[in-house]
Structure 1
């Protein structure tokens, strides 16, 4: 009598493969979601860059940031800054620039702030906001 050779996979082998794929997906999915949220939030950081340049220019011309929030170049930069799909608002209060994300697409309205201080004729920026706790900036 001739012994029949096994063809294909057994049920146990298939179950092991499915379990391994499930474990890999459970680990990879949260990391991927954080990665996509970071990439969306980078649009908020980019939205503040034009305002930052206008504030730096004003600060160097005036040698102070005190009146820069109402400077024409700064207000024009603020008006054009919130054009991104994930940017809710960009604003200036005193010498602090604040960008806020939308509350959709995995973002929860996190903020990105840049606090400017004049030091030896240059503007020194300090980053802050709720994006740091979320790990987006």
Structure 2
């Protein structure tokens, strides 16, 4: 469980990275919108695990690879933003947030189950 300090620091990083991706993201990935969905910070505040989602990306894996290649630049820009709030800038680790796709997959499965039940109710009514 994260401490309040970790949670606060993660929120600051999430907001500032969101601003960075809003301003700079189009030059790195033209036509792709990058969203910082969550940030998890280690207890020593040395590593920030950043989860990103990509809208209009042909390949999320290529998009995350592009972001990872810019991680030094992103960390530098983040450092300029948080320099008054943190002693050091954490190492950034970027990951694809696939929770939206997972949620859509689960919703699709439930829809299929519900359609199957609706079809069975019609069959049950014919038997009675």
TM-score (norm 1): 0.27
TM-score (norm 2): 0.28
* Higher Cα radius of gyration: 1
